[in-house]
Chains A and B, each alone.
Chain A
Amino acid sequence: MDINVPALLAQLLVGLINGSFYALLSLGLAVIFGMLNIINFAHGALYMMGAFCAYFLLNLLGLNYWWALILSPVIVGVFGMVMERTLLQWLSGLDHLYGLLLTFGVALIIQGVFQNYFGSSGLPYAIPEQLRGAINLGFMYLPVYRGWVVVFSLVVCLLTWFLIERTRLGANLRAATENPTLVRAFGINVPRMITLTYGLGVGLAALAGVLSAPINQVRPLMGADLIIVVFAVVVIGGMGSIMGSIITGFTLGVIEGLTKYFYPEASNTVVFVLMVLVLLVKPSGLTGRAT
C-alpha cells in the first residue's frame, strides 16, 4: 500500500500527545495504587479540575498559562489531600472495591457539579503566545504547542521516576508501599506520606489537565472520556512499575495513532483489544509484579 508520509506523521504526533496524557495519568494512578491500594476512579475528574483551574486562574485572576502550570497542580493536589484525609483514609485495609466505589462516586459528584454550572460543551482556552505557530521540520510542520506537550510531559514523567526510584524520599515511599507497618515502626510518619503521595498523583493529573486545556478545550466530561482508556493502559502496563507506566502510556498512544492511519475503524478499540490480549497472557500486566 502507498504510505502518505505527512498523514502518518500527523497521526503519530497525535498518538504521542495522547500518549503524554496516558503516561502522566497512569503514572499517578500507579503511584496512588502502590501506596494507598486504591484504584483512583476520581483521577479523570481531578484531571478535568486541573483544566478548569487553569481556566479560572486566567479568567478570574488574570493568571496566564505558565502560572496555571504551577498553581493548578498545587491547588487540585491540595484538594486531593483533603479528600484523602476526610474520605479515603478510612478505607485503608478494606477491599479494593470500596476505594473504587468511593472514588467513582466522588468523580460523579465532581463532574455533576461542573456540568451543572458549565454544561457539557467546551470552554475555550487559548494556546499561550510563546507556544503558538509551527516549526518546519523539513518533512512536516510541527505545531509548537503539541511538541511542547510531548517534551514537557516526558520531562515531568522522568522527574517523577527519578524522585521515586533514585532519591531518599522515593526510597521511603517504595519501602512504605511494600511494608507500611515496619516503615512506620522506624519512626516515619506513614499516614502523612500517604496523604502527600495522593497529592502527588492528583497533582500529576491536574498538570495533564492544564496541558490538555488548549488542545481539547475545557469540558466537565473531558476526564470521564479519557479515564476509561487510561485504565486500559494501566491494566496493560501493570500497576507495579513507574517506568512501566511511562513507557506503556507513550507506546499505546503511538499504537493508537498508527491504527488511526492504517485502520481508522479500530482506532478507538485497539487499546482495549490489547488489554484483553495482555489479560489473557499476563494478567499482572507487562511490567507489573504478580500480587
Chain B
Amino acid sequence: MVEATTLQRPVSSAAAAALLSVRDLQAWYGESHILHGMNFEVREGEVVTLLGRNGAGKTTTLKSVMGIVAKRSGSVIFDGTDIGRATSDKIAKRGIAFCPEERGIFASLDVRENLMLPPQVRPGGLSLEQIFELFPNLRERLKSQGTKLSGGEQQMLAIARILRTGARFLMLDEPTEGLAPVIIQQIGHTIARLKKQGFTILLVEQNFRFAATVADRYYVVEHGKIIDGFANSELEANMDKLHTYLGV
C-alpha cells in the first residue's frame, strides 16, 4: 500500500491552488469510526473522482465535507476558509452543492418545486433556460410529482437543481448508479460540459469506466483512508492495481 503522504506530487497539469483541501478528516456514525484521516485536494476546475469499494467511506467523505456528518474532526479548507466545524447550511452558502446518492427528490414537491428548492447562494447560477437546454426532459415534466419521474430523470433533476444555486463546486455521489447506458452517457456529457464551464466537481463512482470519461484525477479510498491516487493519463498504467483495489 502506498502511504497517503506520497500522493502530494502534482498529478494534474492544472497548477491552480487547491479549492478544497482536506487534511486528516475523521468521521464517525455514532460509535463506528468511518473515516480514519482522509487527505486529498481538489483544484479549481478539476473533476476528481473518489474510487473504492462499497463501504470504503466515499459517501461519508462527501457528507463530512458537506457538514452532514456531525461527528467529525480534521480540517476542510474550502476557498481559503476552514469549514471543518460549520453546519451544512453555512457550508452550502459558501458555494458547495451536494447531490446525494439516493438523489433526494422530494415526493411532496412537483418537479418545478424540486428544481426551485435550493436557494441561490451565489450569483451566476444557471438559468432555467440553460438547465432545460441541458436536460430537455425536465421542461415537459414540470408539473409532475418529483418521484413520478424515471430514475434517469430524477438524477437529472437532482443535478439540475444544484446548478441553479450558483455554487461552483459540486459533489456528485454515484450519479450513474442504476441507470441505463444511454442515460449514463448523457450524464457524462453533462459533467463534461459543466467542467468546460468552469465548475469544479468531486465525484464518487463505482463505475470507473464511466469515471474515465470525465475525470482528471482519481483517489482510491479504502477503510476510510486515501490509499492511492493518479491522474487520468496514468489510468492505463494503474489498471492492474485498480482491479485489485476495487476487486473487479
Contacts and interface: CB of A to CB of B under 8 A. Distances in A.
Contact of A185 (B67, B109, B113): B67
A140 B78 CA distance: 72
A179 B109 CA distance: 12
Interface size grouping (class) on chain A: 10 to 19
Nearest to A178: B106
Contact of A168 (B87, B88, B98, B116): B116
Interface residues of B, number: 25
A181 B92 CA distance: 12
A106 to B, nearest CB: 27
Interface string A171-187: 11011011101111111
Interface string A185-206: 1111110000000000000000
B119 A186 contact: yes
Contact of B106 (A174, A181, A184): A174
Given A168-B116, A175-B106, A187 B121 contact: yes
Nearest to B107: A178
Report whether over half of chain B's contact residues are helix, strand or loop; otherwise say mixed.
loop
Contacts of A178: 106-108
Contacts of B119: 186-188
Contacts of B198: none
A179 B89 contact: no
A190 B108 CA distance: 17
Given A171-B113, A181-B68, A186 B108 contact: no
B89 A189 contact: yes
Given A172-B117, A175-B117, A185 B106 contact: no
Nearest to B93: A187
Contacts of B68: 181, 185
A172 B109 CA distance: 9
9 contacts: A168-B116, A175-B106, A175-B108, A184-B88, A186-B89, A186-B92, A187-B93, A187-B165, A188-B118
Interface of B: 66-68, 87-89, 91-93, 97-98, 100, 104, 106-109, 113, 116-119, 121, 162, 165
Interface of A: 168, 171-172, 174-175, 177-179, 181-190
